Structure 1
Amino acid sequence: MTLTVLPFHDDELFTGYVSRCARALSLTSVVDFLADLRALQADFQSGQPEAISRVAKALGVDPARAKWQTFSRDDGQNVRLAGVVLHDKRLLRSQFRVCPACLRADIGTVLSPKSALNAYPRMAWSIRPVVQCPQHNLLLVHPLEASQPHEFSQSWEAWLQDIVDGDMDVLVPGGAGYEAHVSDVFSGNPSSLGWADGFPLDALGLIAETLGVAKLFGAGRRLADCGVCQTSCPPISCGVSDFRGAEFVFWIQPDRSGRLPVSGFS
């Protein structure tokens, strides 16, 4: 049996879509939905192709598209999302941060049980170094209280009124260059970054964070040391020349294998 429940968006994370569909079917959780399909929860959440295909077919979604828009196991500690290889530790696979303004646009002017189901998680929000929305310049936020893992709708339905009222908006100054680049990559229209193109997408985010902190607070500092929640993405927004300050120089050169660039401070 095929269920056509809700529209599946091109930038939506498939695991979040399954959560929305479970709620639309009046089920308590994704776990209940997977049990009804006789799909193993662990296999689905770990990105096993067979489990993803079974769930996708039940919801009337092309299995290839579902695999493209969810965490599919690649090799070792790597997974693929939208064709991009990412390290598992640089992903938020069981939690859902959101941009409040994006969810307001999804919901519309009136919050109701039906319109609440229109709110959906974007793929880019699951990458840890992505910390703000490039469209609205708002910080990505977590639910105000911990919730069940892998449950997007269940995690956020209690806080949607706060979202609609703007109570969770945190405006972040800066260009969000890294976040904009991630969105472009996932939409299939990546811009050329020069030397930065040699880095994996998630690693580039960590480099951006390191350089942003160094630019604001000096070399050798970490984001956790600075009491700030966000910095701009210098290697994309500003350019390497902006990091040649009085106290440090950022350098980059090919490694000996010729595969990826090596960077550092001196």
Structure 2
Amino acid sequence: MLDLRVPLGDGETPTSFCSRLALHNCYANVQEFCSDMGIQFQQVIDGDQSALARLAELGDVDIERLTRWAVYQRSDVFHSIQGQILPRSALRLLLVRVCPACLASDKERWASLGYAAPYGRVEWLVESIRTCPVHGHPLVTLGDNPEQGHPQDFSRRITQCFSDLTAQCKDGLARPFSELEKYLRCRLAGNPYPDTPWLNAMPFYAAARLCEIVGAV
């Protein structure tokens, strides 16, 4: 167990949690942290059980809570979250998408953690979810900058542009969370709509795509 730890956020991915631990323990990047801890960051990304167990031990968190929102690599093309199958094209694994208002709220809530306070939500990885359900803010995609290190080093990435991101909270861009986004979020959490059995029977990504084409849930 590490002396310096961070709380596991609701809906937080293991990759985000790992990145936050690395930053809070003053590592230059998440890869160095993982190397010193005897795991590989790619193992965390892929949902390797032994790596996630080690991460849970280091962060002193319940393994079931940590793995609930893990992204498991099932093949070169497909991943799964909570048993829902998604192709790589339906996920934004190499881009960081965030709600600026959530980042600001996290930092205010856990002020003593500094930039290790904000955490990445699993729903931000899903391409078809483009709005924050809490703040109604459109999700913002961080630009690709090689100098910021590994694309999934969440804390390191947002630290570089935190002020610019949170400034967008004042832009008044709030919009309703769409019915499709509500459906996908509930289904991802294991609570699919009971009155849409035909849609629930479809793979997650196929249901999302169909609804986007038809324009309704």
Q: What TM-score do the two structures reach when normalised by structure 2?
A: 0.83
Is the counterpart of residue 154 in structure 1 residue 152 in structure 2? no
Question: Structure 1 stretch 117-126 or stretch 170-179: which is displaced more?
Answer: 170-179
| Alignment-derived partner of residue 71 in structure 2 | 71
Structure 1 segment 19-168 matched on structure 2, within 5 A: 19-74=19-74, 77-108=77-108, 114-146=113-145, 147-148=148-149, 149-166=151-168
| Alignment-derived partner of residue 240 in structure 1 | none
Calculate percent identity across the aligned residue pairs: 24
Tell which has more relative contact order, 1 or 2 (C-alpha 8 A, sep 6+): 2
The gaps in structure 1 that reach 5 residues or longer are 212-233, 237-266
After superposition, what is the alpha-carbon deviation per residue over 1:45-91, rounded to whole angstroms, capped at 9, x for unaligned? 22222222222222212333322221123356332223322223321
| Alignment-derived partner of residue 173 in structure 2 | 171
Q: Which has the higher helix share?
A: 2
One of 204, 208, 213 as aligned partner of 1:205: 208
Contact 1:101 1:136 in 2 (8 A): yes
Contact 2:132 2:177 in 1 (8 A): no
Partner Cα distance (2:69, 2:176) in 1: 28
Partner Cα distance (1:88, 1:170) in 2: 32
SS of 1:134 mapped into structure 2: coil
Structure 1 residues 8 and 76: CA distance shift in structure 2, 3 A: same
| Alignment-derived partner of residue 191 in structure 2 | 189
Q: If you compute each CA radius of gyration, which structure gives the higher value, 1 or 2?
A: 1
| Alignment-derived partner of residue 251 in structure 1 | none
Structure 1 residues 169 and 56: CA distance shift in structure 2, 3 A: farther
| Alignment-derived partner of residue 217 in structure 1 | none
SS of 1:85 mapped into structure 2: strand
Structure 1 residues 3 and 15: CA distance shift in structure 2, 3 A: farther
Structure 1 residues 36 and 131: CA distance shift in structure 2, 3 A: same
Partner Cα distance (2:87, 2:56) in 1: 24
Contact 1:138 1:169 in 2 (8 A): no
SS of 2:162 mapped into structure 1: helix
What is the CA-CA distance between 1:101 and the residue it aligns to? 1.9
Structure 1 residues 47 and 175: CA distance shift in structure 2, 3 A: closer
Q: What TM-score do the two structures reach when normalised by structure 1?
A: 0.69
Contact 1:107 1:119 in 2 (8 A): yes
Partner Cα distance (1:81, 1:168) in 2: 33
Partner Cα distance (1:170, 1:94) in 2: 28
